[in-house]
Chain A
Amino acid sequence: MVEWTDFERATIKDIFSKIEYDVVGPATLARCLVVYPWTQRYFGKFGNLYNAAGIAENAMVSKHGITILHGLDRAVKNMDDIKNTYAELSVLHSEKLHVDPDNFKLLADCLTIVVAARFGNGFTGEVQAAFQKFMAVVVSSLGKQYH
């Protein structure tokens, strides 16, 4: 079981209560598709992903970015059992979507960058540590059901 300090719990709840999902979600997925272009392999049906501008304007990318970010809500609400909370989603990503679990870390890193840009100096080293720990647990849980 993952142990969370009071600071870590409060930090995660605070971050997710403050971010604008319809800005952060699209920005995160778009950044991932630009910075790690091989991740585009999962979005063959999304249309124009030819360059950063195209990706930023792509409505399917935006919509999916919001979906992904809301997917994190479950973990925020169940910090004491993220592994089981994501068991089904893990199976989905493995069996149906066939996503290489290494990609989860790439998306998590992009989210860290977008959240950092959003909070500026409020995103202190301590806050970053809590956020990265949370995302590491999410990433690990999403990869748990792969076999």
Chain B
Amino acid sequence: MTTLTAKDKQTVKAFWAKVSGKSEDIGAAAVARMLVVYPQTKTYFSHWQDQSPNSPAARKHGKTVMMGVGDAVTKIDDLKEGLKELSELHAFILRVDPANFKILSHNILVVMAVMFPTDFTPDVHVSLDKFLAAVSLALAEKYR
């Protein structure tokens, strides 16, 4: 995994500033897509009464996830340290297989393309992809 360059950090912060107003919608759309396109991810939500992609539980979860992403943007200079508690949560309590971080990241990128087609340029895409990979790595830190 590569480190984020100064350009990556700048690009991510600038793009996030543009899109964070819609972060709930982004999160809801990304989780909804994930549940539809990768149905195996539903196994983590068997405790939801309503596992349909646009259920209130799914929307709420999307909001939670994007709040985490937004928080990660503020901690972009030291994700490992900054996301330590979230990593412990995912490692010991949620025990989400880290392969799923890649899946959700992909769907976040698709939603960015859908919602911000002109702003989501190739340069923004590569920096955001790297950022989400770095976040995923930081989240997996405490697993073993």
Contacts and interface: CB of A to CB of B under 8 A. Distances in A.
Interface of A: 30-31, 34-35, 52, 55-56, 109, 112-114, 116-121, 123, 125-126, 128-129, 132
Contacts of A128: 33, 36-37, 110
30 contacts: A30-B122, A31-B125, A34-B123, A34-B126, A35-B122, A35-B126, A52-B122, A55-B122, A109-B106, A112-B110, A113-B120, A113-B125, A116-B110, A116-B114, A117-B113, A117-B117, A117-B120, A118-B117, A119-B114, A120-B114, A120-B115, A120-B117, A125-B32, A125-B33, A125-B35, A125-B36, A125-B37, A128-B36, A128-B110, A132-B37
B122 A123 contact: no
Nearest to A129: B37
B53 interface: yes
A119 B53 CA distance: 20
A56 B109 CA distance: 20
A120 B110 CA distance: 10
A31 B112 CA distance: 15
Given A34-B125, A113-B125, 18 more contacts: A30-B122, A31-B122, A34-B122, A34-B126, A35-B126, A56-B122, A116-B113, A117-B114, A117-B120, A118-B117, A119-B114, A120-B117, A123-B110, A123-B114, A125-B33, A126-B36, A128-B110, A129-B36
A25 to B, nearest CB: 15
Contacts of B115: 120
Closest 8 CB pairs of A and B: A125-B36, A34-B122, A117-B117, A116-B113, A117-B113, A35-B126, A129-B37, A125-B33
Contacts of A109: 106
Interface string B102-144: 0000100110011101001111011001000000000000000
Nearest to B121: A52
A35 B129 contact: yes
A128 B53 CA distance: 14
A56 B125 CA distance: 14
